[in-house]
Structures are given as structure tokens and as C-alpha cells.
Structure 1
Amino acid sequence: MKKFKNKMRTWVTNKWQLPPDILMDLPRITMVGQLHIYIENHRGVLRFSNQELRLRLKQGQLLIKGDAFVIKTILPEELLLEGRIDQVTYINE
């Protein structure tokens, strides 16, 4: 049943030319240089420190590494992180 739902979402997205993040619950990540990163459609913070942020996604995790991290805004599905961003990694579980 899960495969059918995924195929149906993909078909609807392609047929109606909709952005995939809307129908498929994909994260939307917007970076401004190495200073800011804005993430939408996350499922919660798993770990936060001065050098690392790990977010849970619908499928997998997002790992952000750097230095001097400060969470400027956090909402149920949105997060704005400031600091020096060195690495952004998607971890597929």
C-alpha cells in the first residue's frame, strides 16, 4: 500500500507540475552562503550543539556541521539556523 501511495504522489506531482516538496513531504532547504540555513518540513530536532544540528525527516535525517550555531527560529516544521555552515549531509535510513 505504501508503494502505491508513493507512486500516486509522484504521478500527481508530475501530471500537475506541482513542486515535489508539497505532495511528497520532502524537506525544503534554503542556504544563504555559509551563514544561514532555513529548513522546512522537518520532524523535529534530534541533536543540537555549537557545532552540529541533526534533524529528523519523514525519510532519514539531515546533519549540518559547522561552528557557532544559534537557532534563530524554531517552529513545528520550520527552523532557521545561523553560524558557519561547513557541511550539510542527508542520511537515508
Structure 2
Amino acid sequence: MKTKSYKIKEKISDALELPKDITLDIPKVTILGKDSITVENHKGIISYNDNQIRINTTCGILTILGEGLTIKSIIQEEIIIIGKISNIGY
């Protein structure tokens, strides 16, 4: 359920044609082939092993499944994951 504040921000973002991932603090997920994924605007790692990585976001828990998953880079704004990715879901 969207809050009144969220709806106002969404309308402003649409009117000014601003990227929603920035103005609404929603995650931006970029997938490069089957071996790399970047998650921006995350809220931290929930769990991590070489077959599953769970990331907290404002939209819910993002789960990445695969083989040989490794966190290549993690900073406050972005996480880069490499490995053989087989599934991504909320």
C-alpha cells in the first residue's frame, strides 16, 4: 500500500520526468547476461552464501539464486554480484 507521501513524490517525479529510483528510493536492478547483477538503493545484505544472496530493499527482499555467487563490491549505494545467476525474485 502506497502512503500519501509516496504518491506525492511519485506525481512530482512523473511531472518533472525524474528517475523514480532516485526520487522514490526504490531499488534499481541491472542484469548483465547470466553472470553479473548490480543492485542500487539497497538496504543491506540479509543472508549470503555461494548459492543464494538475499538483499533488503524498500520493495521487499530481493533473492538472487545461482552457483558460485560472490559479492564483488558493496558500498552504501550499490552491490555488485557475480557468478552463474539462475533466478532473481522478490
Report if aligned partners of 1:44, 1:77 keep a CA contact under 8 Å in 2: no
| TM-score, normalised via structure 2 length | 0.93
**Which residue matches 1:25?**
25
Per-residue deviation, 1:19: 1.1
Per-residue deviation, 1:3: 1.9
Report if aligned partners of 1:35, 1:84 keep a CA contact under 8 Å in 2: yes
SS at 2:7 equivalent: helix
2:38 matches 1:43: no
2:59 matches 1:59: yes
Structure 1: how far apart are the matches of 2:4 and 2:70? 40
- Number of matched pairs: 89
Structure 1: how far apart are the matches of 2:13 and 2:77? 21
Which runs of 5 or more residues in structure 1 are unaligned? none
Report if aligned partners of 2:27, 2:59 keep a CA contact under 8 Å in 1: no
Structure 2: how far apart are the matches of 1:3 and 1:31? 29
Q: What is the aligned-residue RMSD (CA, Å)?
A: 1.1
Percent identity between matched residues is 31
| TM-score, normalised via structure 1 length | 0.91
Deviations 1:54-88 (A, max 9, x none): 00012311000000011110112211100000000
Which runs of 5 or more residues in structure 2 are unaligned? none
Deviations 1:22-77 (A, max 9, x none): 11111111111001001100000000001000000123110000000111101122
Runs of 4+ in 1 over 6 A off after TM superposition: none
